[in-house]
Structure 1
Amino acid sequence: MKPDSQFELRHSVDGAARLGFVGDLLLARRVQETHRSMPGAVWDGMSTRLGALDTVVGNLECTLTTRGDPWPDKQWRFRGDPAWATTVLETGNVGAVSLANNHVMDYGPASVRDTTATLDAAGIAHAGAGHDRSAAFAPTTLEAGELTVAMVSYTDRFRPFTAGLDTAGTAFLSTDPRDSAVRSRIEHSLARVPESVDLVVASLHWGPNYEPKTDRHRRFGRWLIDRGVDVVHGHSAHEIAGIEVYDGRPILYDTGTFVSDFYPVENHRNDLTFLFELVVEEGLSELRLHPIRVVEESVRTAGQRGRRWLRERMQSRSAQFGTTVQERSDEGPLTVSL
């Protein structure tokens, strides 16, 4: 049962839109080297499908800066060229990115300031990191079709990047709703969502690489919906996880990796993922899962073998939540009714 709250009002969604949700976007290293002269080639054959959506939301798995000092004693640091990366995002119809992750400050506080300033200049909404704690936990808003969408972003990865009262960093917390401090921080964050917003998205970089989500993550996802969130957009593990439909709202436990130069990991297939398309028609209507393969630093439609693996993996991992993932044809998307 939901607690009495002002957030109840935001559950009435009027209007129509098609929103795309994707996992990590690594716009650095070999991806940048391969497509330096043609940024739009990152999307390969997917540009038309992405462009047909009202907007796309993803996790920016790097910082956008040309300055700053490497974070000490950190194994992986990702830095993308600001002008090149924003061109990639624009050509892929990416209207919002989460920044609450373990890479946005790979080159120190200056890289957070540069990343947010770069995205602001390009008109790309962002949440989850900022010049101080208040900015990191602040919601952002964007237009998608007939809807006004708000997004918040939180992470439980890499505590050293935590934003302070007067220091740059991420919206870090334990993602455990049993913790009163976590509940207070999230409720304060959600209270800043404008009353005029139609749809609320929580984008979460949660859990270790290549490990399933735990009961703690499940409690947190459901608790967020109880507090007025309409879509939980999870990422971090670099592989897809199951989908739960809770009170008619989707929890995408992990959307995998959408753009990267990672090598495939056996039994995890981090090169296979989905474009998750949320259909809103005067309410949350349907999720459409378009099978995707990441190959040669580009995004492509998955072939039949990849499609079969993705279908079986998503069906098996969603069954634990009582979620039915249907396949209506050999070529079209998988579907989940909401």
Structure 2
Amino acid sequence: MNLEHPRPHKLRVLAVGTATLAFALTAACSSADQNTSPDEGAVPPGEGTDEPQASTEEASEPFTIAFGGDVMFEGLLLPRLDDPSTALDPISERLSAADLAMVNLETAVTEGGTPVPDKDYVFRAPATALEALDLAGVDVATVANNHGMDYGEDGLLDTLDNGDDSPVALVGAGHDADEAYAPHVAEVNGQSVALFGATDVLDEELIPAWTAGEDEPGLATTKYEMKDRLLDAVTDAAAEHDNVVVFLHWGLEGAHCPLPHAPELADEIIDAGAAAVVGGHAHVLSPGGFQGDAYVHYGLSNFVFYNFEGPTAETGVLTLTFDQGNVLEAGWAPARIQEGVPVPYEDEEAERAHRTWVDMRADCGLPLSESPA
């Protein structure tokens, strides 16, 4: 997965390998030792000068990640890919304003493969879909959902190949389980962040074929024993990186409130080390807020989708501010899908839509708050 990105408005710093850094420091120290004896010109730190000592650690600052919900390009959306540079207008500006942006790509990215038989809805899109996401400011997309393998293993392999050729990093799927449960890691403002994708939703008969195995392509899931695989991966990432985020495909289609097991699943992922758990699948908005010290959003709804009436057209952009494993702030910018893409609400309409979303917390009986505990 590519850590580089050509857009100038995103601050992206490549991580320096530990071994490379250690070698550089050793070389610098060796050079100094060869040119100066232990006593020549030696000045104890802090003495003999008013100049502050330079820090050997890069200063870090908080950074933001913008999240959008379900994205696909079937039906009326496909012609938008004729000009990828404008495909996600007018929501592109809000996505690009964040340091990173992530969405749920609910489609196979392939022009081949074979559609799964007897599945009511199968989605696919050409590689220009990734170009459109990139040009709209999206950096990461999860394909761990109930459409990631709509065109079979061949379609998934095409998706992964197209992802390798794109600046948009794909998570939640891989050529084997190790790859599927691996996060995309980015460095922003002197901090590292590991972003995972996984699905909690799969048709029972598809679980064996769609779940990534030791030598089998597939998706990262939380189904049955595979939940522990995700939790272990989150724990490992939290030990290595400053911040961890998990994008889950979860919920019940058409239901604003999460399934009964979802709060406990969120707590397990948070206890494993995640600072935020966000997701979707229901195609309608669900509540979001701070669950203890971490942030949980139970459903971001449709985002780029052919629904444009009623509750399925209500959407928005969630922007979280991270700092050293904590979510400092959360912002919800409501929008409504028009002609397949989100159009942000403004003024009084925005206030009403925001209040309706906030009220969902009480409606669903969830102990979510505006700020960390």
Category of TM-score, reference length = shorter chain? 0.7 to 0.9
User: Which of 335, 342, 361 is the equivalent residue of 1:292?
Assistant: 335
Q: Which residue does 1:19 correspond to in 2?
A: 65
> Quick check: 1:184 aligned with 2:228?
yes
Amino acid at match of 1:143: E
Q: Which residue does 1:32 correspond to in 2?
A: 78
Q: Which residue does 1:333 correspond to in 2?
A: none
- Paired residues of 1:152 and 1:201 also in contact (CA < 8 A): yes
For residues 257-290 of structure 1, give each alpha carbon's deviation from its aligned partner in whole angstroms, at most 9, with x where no partner exists. 11111242x4xx1111121111235642211111
Partners in 2 of 1:288 and 1:188 — Cα distance?
29
Partners in 2 of 1:125 and 1:192 — Cα distance?
20
Q: Which residue does 1:254 correspond to in 2?
A: 299
Partners in 2 of 1:69 and 1:206 — Cα distance?
25
Deviation at 1:305, TM superposition (A): 7.2
For structure 2, the residue ranges without an aligned partner over 5 or more in a row are: 1-58
Q: Which residue does 2:41 correspond to in 1?
A: none
Partners in 2 of 1:273 and 1:262 — Cα distance?
11
Q: Which residue does 1:173 correspond to in 2?
A: 222
Give % identity: 27
Q: Which residue does 2:198 correspond to in 1?
A: 154
Question: How large is the Cα RMSD of the aligned pairs?
Answer: 2.2
User: Which of 136, 148, 159 is the equivalent residue of 1:104?
Assistant: 148
- Paired residues of 1:125 and 1:142 also in contact (CA < 8 A): no
* Bigger RCO (CA 8 Å, 6+ sep): 1
Q: Provide closer, same or farther for how the CA distance between residues 188 and 270 of structure 1 changes in structure 2, counting only shifts above 3 A.
A: same
> Quick check: 1:136 aligned with 2:170?
no
User: The residue matched to 2:192 in structure 1 has which SS?
Assistant: strand
- Name whichever of 40-49 and 58-67 sits farther off: 40-49
User: The residue matched to 1:30 in structure 2 has which SS?
Assistant: helix
For structure 1, the residue ranges without an aligned partner over 5 or more in a row are: 1-12, 325-335
Partners in 1 of 2:132 and 2:193 — Cα distance?
22
Q: Provide closer, same or farther for how the CA distance between residues 24 and 197 of structure 1 changes in structure 2, counting only shifts above 3 A.
A: same
Q: Which residue does 1:6 correspond to in 2?
A: none
> Quick check: 1:280 aligned with 2:322?
yes
Deviation at 1:141, TM superposition (A): 1.2
User: The residue matched to 1:213 in structure 2 has which SS?
Assistant: coil
Deviation at 1:195, TM superposition (A): 3.9
- Paired residues of 1:62 and 1:79 also in contact (CA < 8 A): yes
Deviation at 1:310, TM superposition (A): 2.5
Q: Which residue does 2:95 correspond to in 1?
A: 50
Partners in 1 of 2:172 and 2:352 — Cα distance?
33
Deviation at 1:14, TM superposition (A): 5.2
- Paired residues of 1:18 and 1:144 also in contact (CA < 8 A): no
What are the residue-to-residue correspondences of 1:287-326 with 2, within 5 Å? 287-303=330-346, 307-319=350-362, 320-324=365-369
- Paired residues of 1:29 and 1:78 also in contact (CA < 8 A): no
What are the residue-to-residue correspondences of 1:62-141 with 2, within 5 Å? 62-82=107-127, 84-141=128-185
- Paired residues of 1:97 and 1:125 also in contact (CA < 8 A): yes
User: The residue matched to 1:291 in structure 2 has which SS?
Assistant: strand
Partners in 2 of 1:194 and 1:21 — Cα distance?
20
Partners in 1 of 2:367 and 2:248 — Cα distance?
22
- Name whichever of 24-33 and 60-69 sits farther off: 24-33
For residues 37-58 of structure 1, give each alpha carbon's deviation from its aligned partner in whole angstroms, at most 9, with x where no partner exists. 2223232223222222111011
Partners in 1 of 2:148 and 2:227 — Cα distance?
24
Deviation at 1:184, TM superposition (A): 2.9
- Name whichever of 35-44 and 252-261 sits farther off: 35-44
- Name whichever of 229-238 and 140-149 sits farther off: 140-149
User: The residue matched to 1:270 in structure 2 has which SS?
Assistant: helix
> Quick check: 1:207 aligned with 2:251?
yes
Amino acid at match of 1:256: S
Q: Which residue does 1:234 correspond to in 2?
A: 279
Amino acid at match of 1:74: K
Partners in 2 of 1:306 and 1:182 — Cα distance?
42
Amino acid at match of 2:68: V
Partners in 1 of 2:131 and 2:189 — Cα distance?
22
Q: Provide closer, same or farther for how the CA distance between residues 306 and 118 of structure 1 changes in structure 2, counting only shifts above 3 A.
A: farther
For residues 46-76 of structure 1, give each alpha carbon's deviation from its aligned partner in whole angstroms, at most 9, with x where no partner exists. 3222222111011001111111111111111
User: The residue matched to 1:188 in structure 2 has which SS?
Assistant: helix
- Paired residues of 1:29 and 1:79 also in contact (CA < 8 A): no
Structure 1 segments, 4+ long, off by >6 Å, are none
Q: Which residue does 1:330 correspond to in 2?
A: none
For residues 3-44 of structure 1, give each alpha carbon's deviation from its aligned partner in whole angstroms, at most 9, with x where no partner exists. xxxxxxxxxx952211101111113332122x1322232322
Q: Provide closer, same or farther for how the CA distance between residues 14 and 337 of structure 1 changes in structure 2, counting only shifts above 3 A.
A: farther
